[in-house]
Structure 1
């Protein structure tokens, strides 16, 4: 009987997540990816355009195999004994509109590459990033010194337009993404006390990683990037969770910052974007 993609509900996602605790922190990327989507479904049961699947085979469920489509983004995971099943699951997806394969752990890259080759998909980019990691107990002890004239607090959805505008990776539809992440995930902003101007910020990506870490050009070279990174790490640690970040190996400044903060590289992940097969397709803002 041919295998099929099988929808996964909230309770099933929670069951899959428990299997990724083994050999910690080997599967922490999959664990925290599922954790964030579980939070999304709990906080907003009517959330749109997120679909979670596993394969119909019991072996796939035992291996915690999941495929999550979040609008145009793809997240995947499985234990080491199920890479062939993961490749089959990826092959069953509809790739016609193009997909952004996001923070895919290195152990799954070959399965992804095989599907790209088999379907003769064209790539916009394929980037390997270092996966930085800090345990919760270390992150909770980071010291954050806020300079006079500034304060830290959570971002508001009103900040989303500026965050999106300044984000080097912004695109059509990304404003909704930024708004949603601010609404549903831990985040931090550094503000000028007198004017309440937002000068630096960091949000958490769906995969659980620190993301959109940005300092406005008017306030660079003052250590504000390190400040918001430490504050984000502390806030994630306060949830009882370890902290992860992805950095391009060629980004010497960011690699140096995370090294200095005490993060360790424990793995690599890939970001891969496939081109639409039949004409351009974009997600409009608000969806």
Structure 2
């Protein structure tokens, strides 16, 4: 098993007793901090996976926090090969602490950045430009910050068709959900098994018992992996699931949010009906040093740093 480092050059491992105070800090920066805020809340409450969080040694004066999930698929499967980062929008210059981190992160190898606020990623890309290139995938973060779900939609979405039933998913459904998940090359099936075991994960079942549509709550609090099998589309199952899971997520103390691809107008329309609004863009990226080919294997665990710019 890979050794968990207690500290790096600029960051230190967060103890569990410190997490509530960090959650409070992140709460002051919502909705920009929503992914980290909900990840920490989910971790403390439901412990879906064994995560590792690091903050700057000067926290909170220089408020940068890292999350190493240890479960996103990467070429070498290393703990420090994949992570996400958050810092407040008025502290983006402190990102240099990340690019100067040469113990936790090996910048001489490819790095896999999980969904991170677009403004943070822009700053990181600016600092990384001399070192390598970024392959990026953009999503849009939609949140429902209102206290109540829009009542005008309640009347039209509470009744299911007579030939369908909504139920909590079970572990046996994980392989099919994983197979049809668009980013299944980045997540192992065990992740979905854990989500189904620990968090609200619901499906709509036909009269014959077939799983027709489904949606799950993620380890980072978002509602995701909504899928409807082609033969069951245009029956309103997606809206029913989204409405029900939104209500349940809020009852369990989480703030409902989703990440939607910019071209997915159908999902945007669906969530608009439930009062969700777009707040910011988020980016997933692969960072590759210039000297490495596009299919190079990743690294992690020390050995290099990004050439700093802008006086840092």
Equivalent residue for 1:280, pick from 297, 302, 308: 297
Equivalent residue for 2:25, pick from 19, 23, 37: 19
Counterpart CA distance in 2 for 1:201 and 1:95 is 38
1:167 aligns to 2:167 (yes or no): no
**Offset of 1:164 from its aligned partner?**
0.4
Q: 2:55, 2:64 within 8 Å by CA — same for their partners in 1?
A: yes
- 1:4 aligned partner: 10
Matches within 5 A, 1:185-224: 185-192=199-206, 194-224=207-237
Counterpart CA distance in 1 for 2:110 and 2:42 is 23
Change (3 A) 1:89 1:200: same
Counterpart CA distance in 1 for 2:265 and 2:11 is 41
Q: 1:136, 1:237 within 8 Å by CA — same for their partners in 2?
A: no
**Offset of 1:257 from its aligned partner?**
1.7
Matches within 5 A, 1:76-225: 76-92=85-101, 93-95=105-107, 98-120=110-132, 122-123=133-134, 125-135=135-145, 137-139=147-149, 143=154, 144-171=158-185, 173-192=187-206, 194-225=207-238
SS in 1 for 2:273: helix
**Which digits, 9 at most, give the CA deviation of each residue in 1:40-78, with x for residues without a partner?**
5xx46xx55x32111212xx3345431011124422212
Change (3 A) 1:127 1:94: same
Counterpart CA distance in 1 for 2:112 and 2:217 is 17
**Offset of 1:90 from its aligned partner?**
4.6
Counterpart CA distance in 2 for 1:95 and 1:203 is 34
- 2:52 aligned partner: 51
Counterpart CA distance in 1 for 2:16 and 2:107 is 25
Aligned residues: CA RMSD:
2.8
Equivalent residue for 1:260, pick from 273, 280, 284: 273
- 2:252 aligned partner: 239
Change (3 A) 1:13 1:64: farther
Q: 1:132, 1:245 within 8 Å by CA — same for their partners in 2?
A: yes
* Higher percent of residues as helix: 1
Counterpart CA distance in 2 for 1:96 and 1:37 is 31
Unaligned runs of 5+ in 2: 1-7, 73-81, 300-312
Unaligned runs of 5+ in 1: 283-287
**Offset of 1:175 from its aligned partner?**
1.1
Q: 1:16, 1:64 within 8 Å by CA — same for their partners in 2?
A: no
SS in 2 for 1:189: strand
Counterpart CA distance in 2 for 1:91 and 1:204 is 34
**Offset of 1:262 from its aligned partner?**
2.3
Q: 1:17, 1:64 within 8 Å by CA — same for their partners in 2?
A: no
Counterpart CA distance in 1 for 2:96 and 2:146 is 33
SS in 2 for 1:138: coil
Q: 2:213, 2:238 within 8 Å by CA — same for their partners in 1?
A: yes
Instruction: Flag the structure with more relative contact order, 1 or 2, with Cα contacts below 8 A and sequence separation at least 6.
Output: 2
